[in-house]
Structure 1
Amino acid sequence: MLPADRRKHILEHILTQGSANTEALARQYGVSAMTIRRDLRLLEEQRRIQVTHGGAVPPSFLHEDLPYESKKVSCLGAKRAIARIAEKMVEDNSCIILDAGTTTLELALLLRNRHLTVVTTDLQIALILSQSPTVTVHTTGGFVERITGAHVGEAAMSFLASVNAAQAFIGTNVWDAAHGVATTTAVKQHLKRRMMQSAEQRILLADSSKYGVYSTWRVAGLADFSCIVTDAELAGEHREAVSAAGAKLRLADGVNFGSGN
């Protein structure tokens, strides 16, 4: 097989299967692992794949969480617009769950003068709300993950299992109609699912820059959320795809799309 044909087949495999292993590809095509690594590097230079340790994934694949400081300043205007919509959905004297993340952090800032009970895994959110005279805040406890500054693990899961909340506001780094909402570890997958199970309404807060990206551990389909709040920059074809997936979409400009409208 010619190198160009081999690279074409490798690319098709990665895009359809979601990943590829260097050693497995070497055995499949009867070439050395070094040859496969050269193929992968060339495809990466063409921005058609993303090389990982031991293989490759599609360019839209997120294999590990982004550092908190870089997420904090990314798409800040969109996150604040989403938070303003979400804040209007919260009723006074209710109990809500706030997932870890920079968009839920923006929501927390808007809730400081509300009469609420808030359960969160996010230490930054807990510190902000603990200064409010009208908000009762609970952290879940558990191991604190360094990259996110949030609780994870069995202790957090156990605490959330004891909660009956009106709403759970879930954050994500990746979402789209085909793959739903996913995360980078099984631990966070189970934690987000537990948050959703502990609330009557499950509301996804996700800015449009994260659409079309996916990751390994699927949390839920878009239709599993009561509502998805995003910014108005989400492209028209993506709005239609979300609606076709059975999800209710609310844009930060106040326009609603999808089922339930």
Structure 2
Amino acid sequence: MLARQRQERILEEVRAHGGARVSDLVTALGVSEMTVRRDITILAGQGLVARVHGGATALSARAEEPGFTVKSALALPQKEAIARAAAELVAPGSSVAISAGTTTHAVASALVDVPGLTVVTNSLRVEQVLHEAWSAPDWPDSAPAGGAAGSWAGGAAGGSVVLTGGERTPSDALVGPVAVAAIRSLHVDTLLLGVHGVDLEAGLTTPNLVEGETNRALVASARHVVVVCDSSKWHVVGLASIAPLDAVDVLVTDDGLPHAAREVLASKVGRLVIAERDAATG
């Protein structure tokens, strides 16, 4: 199949379904992952699709990421490995901020057995994971998702959670002035930050402007910044900047990151942690 024919097929999939995953396109086209990513890059350069981590979306989705359910199905083994490696960086009894996202959601699941944590989050999904694990009997049936911050404490690990409040995005993040004001009043030991893209020049980015503002506030609130992202996000650039690479104390990614990229990132961030996917499965 010629390159032009492949690109037409990719464009048809994106237009028909609003997006296409690299893994599905590899199977459908019978070519390598590198070939599919190159074709997506060409189509994005022509202004025909928007390149996102794990695939491509229609141009109408350029300004914001797909919803949580769509993203949660991507790179599951990688996210599990990253989550376990990131959890090892969190000390018992410390204060932790966790941003919204499917990778940070996996990290939250890995943190439930770490005792004495105080967690600040703008993610409804993260709050739900910790609430269910720590079994707070006095917390109401529905978590606050509006304009006021909320908190609860309890459970086997003795942790507590502060939910920032704010406006809800498709990725179940709470953002906007209320979230930013709440975050700016806090100081945490460690931030676990999920990102849309990591790039040598652009740094950490997101396609959502208000989510970018909220994430910048999270970075400013933390003594140590730990970025968690799977390897497909390398060289992906979103609309809004969050922070440069030199603001990252630790970057945790999976073993799919190319060796050349590892060398570059290791020279830019404080510490690069490569999580082996086999460690997550056995």
Q: Please give the residue correspondences for 1:19-38 in structure 2 after superposition, counting only pairs within 5 Å.
A: none
The 2-side partners of 1:121 and 1:154 are apart by: 12
Task: Tell me the TM-score normalized by structure 1.
Answer: 0.73
Q: Relative to 1, partners in 2 of residues 1:240 and 1:151: Cα closer, same or farther, differing over 3 Å?
A: same
Q: Relative to 1, partners in 2 of residues 1:46 and 1:185: Cα closer, same or farther, differing over 3 Å?
A: closer
The 2-side partners of 1:246 and 1:90 are apart by: 18
Quick check: 2:251–2:269 contact (8 Å CA) kept in 1?
A: no
Q: Relative to 1, partners in 2 of residues 1:151 and 1:50: Cα closer, same or farther, differing over 3 Å?
A: same
The 2-side partners of 1:137 and 1:46 are apart by: 40
- Picking from 185, 190, 195, the partner of 2:218 is 195
Q: Please give the residue correspondences for 1:39-188 in structure 2 after superposition, counting only pairs within 5 Å.
A: 48-50=42-44, 56=47, 60=51, 63-114=63-114, 115-131=116-132, 132=134, 133=155, 134-145=158-169, 147-188=170-211
The 2-side partners of 1:76 and 1:104 are apart by: 12
The 2-side partners of 1:195 and 1:209 are apart by: 23
The 1-side partners of 2:70 and 2:49 are apart by: 22
What runs of 5+ residues in structure 2 fail to find an aligned partner? Answer: 1-38, 53-61, 135-154, 278-282
Q: Relative to 1, partners in 2 of residues 1:182 and 1:57: Cα closer, same or farther, differing over 3 Å?
A: farther
Quick check: 1:48–1:58 contact (8 Å CA) kept in 2?
A: no
The 2-side partners of 1:48 and 1:143 are apart by: 35
Instruction: Find the counterpart in structure 1 of residue 26 from structure 2.
Output: none
- The total of aligned residue pairs comes to 207
Q: Say which one has the larger Rg.
A: 1
**Secondary structure of 2:47 counterpart:** strand
The 2-side partners of 1:125 and 1:174 are apart by: 20
What runs of 5+ residues in structure 1 fail to find an aligned partner? Answer: 1-44, 255-261
**Secondary structure of 1:239 counterpart:** helix
Instruction: Kindly indicate whether structure 1 or structure 2 has the higher relative contact order, using CA contacts under 8 Å at least 6 residues apart.
Output: 2
Q: CA RMSD in A?
A: 2.3
Moved over 3 A (4+): 57-63, 244-247
**Secondary structure of 1:209 counterpart:** helix
Q: Relative to 1, partners in 2 of residues 1:229 and 1:156: Cα closer, same or farther, differing over 3 Å?
A: same
Quick check: 2:250–2:269 contact (8 Å CA) kept in 1?
A: no
